[in-house]
Amino acid sequence: MNLDFAKSDGLITAVIQDHQSGRVLMVGYMNEEAFRLTVDTGFATFYSRSRKKLWLKGESSGHRLVVKEIRTDCDLDAVLVAVEAIGPGVCHEGYESCFFRKLDGREWKVVDTRTYDPNAVYGGKA
């Protein structure tokens, strides 16, 4: 399972895609341990660059990502993870996908509708 963790400070890029719709849900980063946990547990696990620690997606929200397939790219520094997303959305702002803003001219516009209330899920939690 050799991947090139050295190229980018110990991290590879992980693109998370819905296994049925093909929608790209989020982009995260994995260190070697996060990748190993993702493979071994079957739940997508990341390394949080801001919190500097392992992050099991859904650990506070319950919105886990069940791994269906993992691919890697030609230079082995990115993975594409097809998932079944548990719950109404992966984005902590309440959307199905973190990519809810679209470039319109030179402005970012929110083009998706919230699928859940983030305050009800994340309220009071870091």
- Does the footprint of its own copies cover residue 7 (CB under 8 A)? yes
Burial of 104 (0-12, 13-18, 19+ CB in 10 A): exposed
25 to 44, contacts with its own copies by CB under 8 A? 26-27, 39
Q: Count interface residues toward its own copies (CB under 8 A).
A: 38
Cβ atoms within 10 Å of 2's Cβ, excluding its own: 6
Minimum gap (Å) between residue 8 Cβ and its own copies? 8
Cα torsion at 50, 87, 118, 51 (round to 10°)? -10
78 lines the binding site for its own copies (CB under 8 A): yes
Residue 103 interacting with its own copies (CB under 8 A) = yes
Which residues form the interface with its own copies (CB under 8 A)? Answer: 1-2, 7-8, 13, 15, 17, 21-24, 26-27, 39, 49, 69-75, 78, 80, 91-93, 95, 98-103, 106-108, 111
